[in-house]
């Protein structure tokens, strides 16, 4: 029986593995590694790690192929570690099913926080928690109501649906396409301006200062993320 949370690090750079192993083990994780798309796919299928840290630049192919293959059968949290700066790479990874991304070089503290968030999301999905709490926000999916600091928010049905979807993934970056597909349907995947309008309206109701948002955060060029606290 596994006693520690197992982290599969998919990276062919020995220096990254040497750097991550003591940091992860010092925080109670058990680290295993893979250096190729093929090896990573095999280990995810055979060993069912609790979380995957994935580099996109692998010697036998693009790391996004690991995400694509894994998502055919697994909901394991996947965090992309990448030196690639192009927004399209991040968007493609997230749209394929990655939970988050962290740019190289990265701060270990930030990485650990993202890992905790991704692992918590997986547990929440399995538990199907009816009331979601994000800071002083409460979103009650059963009663179809939301409150901030105990005060009920006057939301339209679509605003509630948008807030509920974002809250279910608190701490995780969601692409414009993911949000539009979930809330408005596949026919609206390109309506990013429409989404901006709704996010603006929602911020007026949930933020203390809508022009300086602390709850619904913008990921420039990619999408949005709800802060966890």
| pLDDT tens figures, 104-153 | 888 899 999 999 989 988 877 666 666 777 778 888 877 888 998 889 99
Q: Measure the CA–CA gap between 60 and 37, rounded to whole angstroms.
A: 6
- d(CA 197, CA 201) in angstroms, rounded, equals 6
Query: Is the CATH code 3.30.70.141 the one for domain 5-126?
Result: no
Write out the two tokens for 114: 């993202």
- When the pLDDT of each residue in the chain is averaged and rounded to a whole number, the result is 89
Q: How confident is the model at residue 69 (pLDDT cuts 50, 70, 90)?
A: very high
- Contacts of range 84-93, beta carbons closer than 8 Å, 24 or more positions apart: 84/56, 84/57, 87/221, 87/222, 89/56, 89/64, 90/222, 91/175, 91/177, 91/222, 91/223, 92/64, 93/56, 93/63, 93/64, 93/67
Q: What is the pLDDT of residues 167-185, one digit of tens each?
A: 888 888 899 999 999 899 8
Q: Do domains 5-126 and 129-226 have the same CATH topology?
A: no
Contact between residue 61 and residue 90 where contact means Cβ atoms under 8 Å apart? no
The structure's pTM equals 0.77
User: So where are the chain's domains?
Assistant: 5-126, 129-226
Cis bond before residue 105 (omega within 30° of 0) = yes
What tens digit of pLDDT does each residue of 192-224 get?
998 999 999 999 999 988 899 989 999 988 999
Cβ neighbours around 93 below 10 Å, total = 27
Residue 44: which residues within 8 A CB-CB, separation 6 or more?
8, 52, 66, 70, 74, 76
pLDDT-derived band of residue 83, with 50, 70 and 90 as boundaries? confident
Q: Give me the percent of the chain exceeding a pLDDT of 70.
A: 95
> With 90 as the cut, is the pLDDT of residue 65 above it?
yes
Q: Which of 15, 122, 101 is nearest to 56 (CA)?
A: 101
For domain 129-226, the question of CATH label 1.20.140.10 is answered with no
């Amino acid at each position: 029986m596994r006693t520690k949370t197992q982290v599969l690090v998919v990276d062919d750079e020995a220096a990254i593995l040497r750097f991550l192993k003591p940091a992860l083990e010092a925080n109670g994780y058990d680290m295993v590694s893979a250096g190729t798309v093929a090896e990573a796919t095999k280990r995810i299928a055979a060993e069912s790690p609790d979380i995957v840290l994935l580099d996109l630049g692998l010697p036998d192919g693009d790391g996004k192929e690991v995400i694509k293959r894994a998502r055919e059968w697994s909901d394991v949290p996947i965090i992309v570690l990448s030196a690639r700066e192009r927004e399209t790479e991040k968007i493609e990874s997230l749209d394929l099913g990655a939970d988050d991304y962290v740019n190289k070089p990265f701060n270990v503290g930030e990485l650990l926080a993202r890992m905790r968030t991704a692992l918590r999301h997986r547990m929440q999905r399995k538990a199907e928690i009816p009331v979601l709490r994000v800071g002083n926000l409460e979103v009650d999916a059963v009663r179809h109501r939301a409150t901030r600091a105990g005060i009920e928010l006057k939301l339209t049905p679509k605003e509630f649906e948008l807030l509920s979807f974002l809250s279910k993934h608190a701490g995780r970056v969601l692409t414009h396409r993911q949000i539009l597909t979930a809330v408005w349907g596949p026919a609206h995947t390109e309506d990013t301006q429409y989404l901006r309008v709704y996010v603006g309206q929602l911020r007026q109701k949930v933020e203390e200062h809508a022009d300086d948002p602390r709850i619904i955060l913008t990921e420039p060029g990619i999408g949005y993320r709800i802060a966890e606290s």
